[in-house]
Amino acid sequence: MAKSPFAKRDEERDVTRRALIKWTVAAGAALGVSRGKIIEILEKTAGKETAFQASENPSTRSVHIVPGNGGASWFTLLFPVPAIASANDPNLSYHKPGMGSMMAGTDRPYYVGPDTPFATLSPSQQMTGFVCGRSQAHTNDAQTTIAQLNNNNIFAFATALQASTPAVVPVVAINGLTIGTAPGGAQVTAVGDATQIVNLFNSAASRAGGLLSKSQDATTYAVQYSAFAQLNRASGRSTQKISYNTAVGAAGLLGTNLAAKLAIQSADLTRYGVTGGTANNIKAIANALIVAVKSFKMGLCSSIVLPAMNDDPHGAFADGRVNTVPGQLKGIMDAFMTDLKSTTDDVTNKVLADDTVITIGGDTPKDCTSHAGGNWGDGTPGGSNFLWCYSAGHLKTGWFGSIAPSGTVTGFDGNAAAATYNPTNTAKYALASIAYAIAKGDERAISPFANGVAISGIFGVPKQL
Amino acid sequence: MKRFAYPLAILASSVLASACTDDLPPSDPLPPGSTQGGETTTFDHPGDSISPWDLLDRLTKEGPPSFTSHMHSCPKVKYATLGNILTGVGINAANTTAVSAGDLYTNGANALGAANYPNRIRENVAITTSGASREFDIFAAGAPEVIAAFTAGTIARCPGAKLFDASNACQPEGITCLTGVPATAEHVQFCNLTVTSASDVPTGQKLAVAAILAAAYTCE
């Protein structure tokens, strides 16, 4: 059916509104006007609706925690499979049986124990758990679960979805983790550890010993660049002004050293519960999450992929580490969430907790049904694996799929109904759901990756229009 | 008859006009900067009025839009072109020393908006903050190499040209060599001002080179 003139006009106006937002924000950035101020101007001139649209990033930022070499098993003690934790059986691989309870109000079954992070958040803000994919024991960069959506890696398609969100460095991967590729995905920037991220956003010229390391020289450079640029006769032309304004902003940025703003301070470590006695692998997670909040706040980065634990804790039940490590991890995760909730994005003025997706998934969660003989075994029921996601309210909360104390694995189908466990399909649904969360519920945006998998209303909370 | 015909015609026109006015759509509440169109024609037209004098002045200076869009746009310098420029002004674009100009160039393809063929992403066209700051960072890191090439008289694009004389004053021939266009008195003046405004003279010379190159190669 042909579109009516009214519909066509409305479409044209919609495009115009998008163009207005795009160019206003771009011009504002070039002129050094804050996005908050731009939105204020838009509200006055183009209305509240346009201002609201301008203030939204179309995608969330994301933190991907990748516990390797059996390290994912620690997170089963934080976010346990409900049937295992609620069985109140010390022979099962849950370290505090009978000390927690099922949370009321989540969409799916969800168990909160003494070491479960984010327990004070509302039911709609809790984690989503998936029994999905295949276990791939003893690898730091496992792919059998996270790369099952149209053969794209979850980290790569996250960067593709985040492409429209401005960032100096789109994605940072720590300690050799790979992100794979996806159409439209960003190239990864690799660093050895979280402290190296701090220097990533500094220009070489602004670092110690660099040409612009002294503020006097940085100021001289910025001023003289503007002076030389104005000698280009065409720089004042209407067709070149925006480009030159961007370049003038870049010349000013060149002499700005961001290290002080991004550096990990002792107060940060105290807030995250890190002390001199904290194990290095746990401290590394805290460092990465501290830097993630700071870089997200300034719009410097959209995604951080970090390794976790990598310690293959076969003897954790026998040697008592289950009584200390999960509590430390909970402390770090809770401090991270507190930071996200108390920090607003400098670009959008949105609270980061509402604009950040956290995923956790690694090589093997180990056997959740037994730690007999002091050995928490690598083999998982049915070869299953887990993915956890904090979706900022975009996904239904609780667990999809389950593992019974007997070891029977229950999967789920495309309608989220219980089904025979299928590693490939469950991973596909889980990854499409994570993409949906990162795209803030925009099914059209995830369609190039999801290949027809429907998320809204099934795994995901329908987008509020 | 004519005595009645003209007033009658005027009266009829007034009545007709007022009747037509009733049929006009209400004034469009769209904000300034929006576009508008009729119900039967969905072609949108700019809703703002512009000053004809401003437009005439702009056309006189810049030429018609069909010309300015070709001649006066400001796309970013292409990644490969930047490599040629670096070589031309005496910078080793293949240098692998950490944070050298060559290292920043080689590892800066992403920030500079180079094409990413495996991911089917074409080379960026517009100037971005990250791309411009990386390009300027490369010029800043490469400034000592440029000065050394001038001192040795080995600069590829204009061998023998001098950028600074014995009293550290900027030379027009050197500036011309860097920018590719004849240096003006203002160029020389700004260059000298940069040298004297910096924390010390050697730093000032590097700042001058970095700023001149950055301004000259902001656009392709």
- Does the pLDDT of residue A161 top 60, yes or no? yes
Instruction: Among A211, A225, A237, select the one facing B215 at the smallest CB separation.
Output: A225
Task: Tell me if B194 and A205 make a contact (CB, 8 A cut-off).
Answer: no
Q: What is the pLDDT of residues A131-152, one digit of tens each?
A: 999 999 988 888 777 777 777 8
At A39 the pLDDT is 52
Best mutation target, B119, B139, B147, to test chain A (most A CBs within 10 A): B119
User: What are the Cα distances from residue B142, in Å, to A219, B99, B154?
Assistant: 19, 10, 15
pLDDT at residue number B115: 80
DSSP A270-311: HHTT--TTS-HHHHHHHHHHHHHHHHHHTTSEEEEEEEEE--
For residues A80 and A82, what is the distance between their CA atoms, to the nearest angstrom?
A: 6
Q: B210–A221: do the CB atoms touch at under 8 Å?
A: yes
Whole-angstrom CA distances from A71 to A65, A191, A320, B198 are 11, 21, 16, 53
User: Distance (Å) from the C-alpha of residue A337 to the closest C-alpha of chain B?
Assistant: 29
**pLDDT tens digits along A415-438:** 999 999 999 999 999 999 999 999
Cβ of B199 within 8 Å of Cβ of A8? The answer is no
| A237 within 8 A of B62, measured Cβ to Cβ | yes
Tens-place pLDDT, residues B173-188: 999 999 999 999 999 9
Mutation target to probe the B interface, by most B beta carbons within 10 A, among A3, A6, A8, A9 is: A9
Do the chains contact at A225 and B42, CB–CB below 8 Å? no
Mean pLDDT is lowest, of A38-52, A72-86, A172-186, B50-64, for A38-52
pLDDT at residue A61, rounded to an integer: 95
Pairwise CB contact (< 8 Å): A228 & B216: yes
Give φ, ψ of A400 to 5 degrees: -105, 120
- For residue B39, the model assigns a pLDDT of 54
**A201 in Cβ contact with A262 (< 8 Å):** yes
Tokens of A45: 């001139």
Cβ–Cβ gap A239/B74 under 8 Å: yes
Are the beta carbons of B127 and A247 separated by less than 8 Å?
A: yes
Query: What's the rounded mean pLDDT across residues A424-453?
Result: 92
Put simply, the answer to whether A220 touches B118 (Cβ < 8 Å) is no
More confident residue, B146 or B33: B146
Q: Which residues of B touch A181 (CB under 8 A)?
A: 118-119
Hey, is A438 helix, strand or coil? helix
Kind and range of the H or E run holding A174: strand A169-174
Residues of B in contact with A212 (CB under 8 A): 140
Residues B181-217 as b/e (b if ≥16 CB within 10 A, e otherwise) read eebeeebbebbbbbbebbeeeebbbbbbbbbbbbbbb
8 Å CB contact of B141 and A221: no
Listed in sequence order, the residues at least 6 apart from A92 whose beta carbon sits closer than 8 Å to its beta carbon are A84, A368, A369, A370, A405
Nearest chain B residue to A226 by CA distance is: B215
- Per the CB < 8 A criterion, the answer to whether A196 and A328 are in contact is no
Contact predicate A160/A185, CB 8 Å: yes
Neighbours of B81 (CB within 10 A): 12
Mean pLDDT: which of A2-6, A241-245, A441-445 is highest?
Answer: A441-445
Among all residues of chain B, which has the CA nearest to that of A23? B33
Average pLDDT over chain B, rounded to whole?
A: 80
Chain B hits for A7, CB-CB cut-off 8 Å, are none
Q: For residue range A315-344, list pLDDT tens digits in order.
A: 999 999 999 999 999 999 999 999 999 999
Least confident stretch, A17-21, A355-359, A363-367: A17-21
Q: A39: part of which helix (H) or strand (E)?
A: helix A35-46
Using pLDDT thresholds of 50, 70 and 90, give the confidence band for residue A68. very high
DSSP conformation class of B183 = P
Q: State both tokens at A223.
A: 């001023």
Cβ-based contacts of A9 with chain B (< 8 Å): 37, 39, 42, 44
β-strand pairing of A101-102 with A61-68: unpaired
Q: What is the mean pLDDT of residues A83-90?
A: 96
* Average pLDDT of the residues in A59-66: 96
Between chains, do B72 and A182 touch, taking CB under 8 Å as contact? Answer: no
Does the pLDDT of residue A383 top 60, yes or no? yes
Distance from CA of A257 to the nearest CA of B (A): 13
* pLDDT tens-digit map of A184-230: 777 777 788 888 887 777 788 888 888 988 889 999 999 999 999 98
pLDDT at A6 over 60: no
Nearest in space to A435 (alpha carbons), one of A385, A387, A399: A387
The pLDDT score that the predictor gives to residue B37 is 58
Q: What is the pLDDT confidence band of residue A256, given thresholds at 50, 70 and 90?
A: confident
Please provide the average confidence, as pLDDT, over all residues in chain A.
Answer: 86
Residues of B in contact with A8 (CB under 8 A): 42
Residue B30 to chain A, least CA–CA distance (Å) = 8
Q: How far apart are CA A130 and CA A425, in angstroms?
A: 12
Instruction: Give A444: exposed, middle or buried? Use CB within 10 Å, 0-12, 13-18, 19+.
Output: exposed
Residue range B71-84: mean pLDDT, rounded: 87
Contact B39 A231 (CB under 8 A): no
State residue B124 phi and psi, 5-degree precision.
-65, 150
Cα-based distances in Å from A1 to A4, A5, B40, B41, B161: 9, 12, 17, 18, 71
pLDDT of residue A15: 41
Size of interface A-B (CB pairs under 8 A): 181
Which residues lie below 8 Å from residue A384, measured CB to CB, with a gap of 6+? A131, A132, A133, A134, A135, A401, A403, A409, A421, A423
Do A224 and B58 lie within an 8 Å CB cutoff?
A: no
Is a pLDDT exceeding 60 seen at residue A2? no
Q: List the single residue in A with minimal CA-CA distance to B196.
A: A220
**Which of B61, B137, B211 faces A228 most closely, judged by CB atoms?**
B211
Beta strand B45-46 pairing with B35-36:
antiparallel
Q: How far apart are CA B86 and CA B88, in angstroms?
A: 5
